[in-house]
Amino acid sequence: MIPIAREANAPVTPTAVPAEICDAIRAAHQIALVSHVTPDADALASLGAMWLALPELGKRPHLILPEGTVSRNLQYLVGYAGLRAAHSADVQDCDLIAALDTAKERRLNSAEHLVALTSIPIVNIDHHATNPRFGRWNWIVPQASSTSELVYALLRALGCQITPTIATLLYAGLHTDTQGFSLNNTTANALRVGYELAVAGAQIPEVCERLHRSRSRGEFELIGIIYRNTGVSPDGRLAWSTATYDEISAAGCTATDIDDQVEIPRAIEGVRVAILFTEGHRGKVRMNFRGEGGVSVLPLAQEFGGGGHHSSAGAILDGTIPEVTARVLPAATKFVAALKPEGTA
């Protein structure tokens, strides 16, 4: 047993929603809902929950979800919630854009309509610490487990009904971003929201089976490759793995199947920094960085033009896996060497 000295958490108070965020939504008529490219469950859940709830307030929401960007597992959620995507061009008819869970303006999934975006005000709702506040209104809460947690607070503040379908979506987002309530963003408030979503009728067993225990044979193959390619530094504090474009393709997978496989090298005891290098598109290597035990990997990701959260960040570099690892692993080794030794303050 590791004795952990910590103070009691602050009392659980629901997340306060800034009045200007509610006002911006109340004043709008047609709202484009946008999130980041290759949406994860949190992005999709936030979009879907807003899309389902806003008509009740007399709003016309447009769900911007370009074709071919939703992974197989998340297709289930789209079907379950009956989400119907609008055309990106519909953004032009909107008087408000709600950007959800998107840490950078250029990662918005409606990039081809950025010209239109510049003239339409954006309400920016996110939990990424590095979000540069690109909206006219910005509600950025890095302590929130997920954007789904914020959207839940927002819908409650707007007086929307949390239907079982909305609850299921938001629970999926919360569950995924906390990795099944196991990461250090599993706050008392995240658990409280999880509880309230369960009370509201979230279909927890089914959504968790579909999102976490429904791997295709291809994804299963890919996991094998990632186990096989895992390397660990001599001091055991840095672990990484790789998958080349050819390995991903040979497994029958595509870039949309790359999700949280970085959890594989991260799971080794004593690892403080884990990195997954994947060449989902030929010549482009995406890096997922994870910090364990309170280590912030954000500076490391930012060194390579990326961003994200303190314990979970990403970056993309041009090149092949050998080229990119040759650049990044020495920097990561130096970064880990500079961390304070375990057990010191």
Binding interface with Mn ion (CB under 5 A): 42, 101, 146-147, 177
Nearer to Mn ion by C-beta: 138 or 147?
147
Nearest to 336 by CA among 285, 296, 303, 278: 296
Give the rounded distance of the alpha carbon of 123 from its chain centre.
18
Nearer to Mn ion by C-beta: 194 or 325?
194
- The nearest distance, CB 336 to Mn ion, in angstroms, is 26
Nearer to Mn ion by C-beta: 149 or 279?
149
- The nearest distance, CB 315 to Mn ion, in angstroms, is 17
Chain position whose Cβ is nearest to Mn ion: 42
Per-residue buried b or exposed e for 234-264, using 16+ beta carbons within 10 Å of the residue's own CB: eeebbbbbbbbbebbeebebbbbbbbbbbbb
- The nearest distance, CB 127 to Mn ion, in angstroms, is 6
Nearer to Mn ion by C-beta: 116 or 125?
125
- The nearest distance, CB 38 to Mn ion, in angstroms, is 13
- What is the distance between the alpha carbons of residues 52 and 32, in angstroms, rounded to a whole number? 13
Q: Where are the alpha helices (DSSP H) in 213-320?
A: 217-228, 245-250, 263-266, 298-303
Q: Where are the alpha helices (DSSP H) in 229-343?
A: 245-250, 263-266, 298-303, 321-337
- The nearest distance, CB 148 to Mn ion, in angstroms, is 7
Token couple for 238: 């840095």
**Alpha-carbon distances, residue 26 vs 52, 99, 121, 158 (angstroms):** 16, 16, 14, 8
Nearer to Mn ion by C-beta: 138 or 146?
146
**126, β-bridge pairs:** 140
- The nearest distance, CB 177 to Mn ion, in angstroms, is 5
Nearer to Mn ion by C-beta: 177 or 219?
177
Beta carbons within 10 angstroms of residue 299's beta carbon:
11
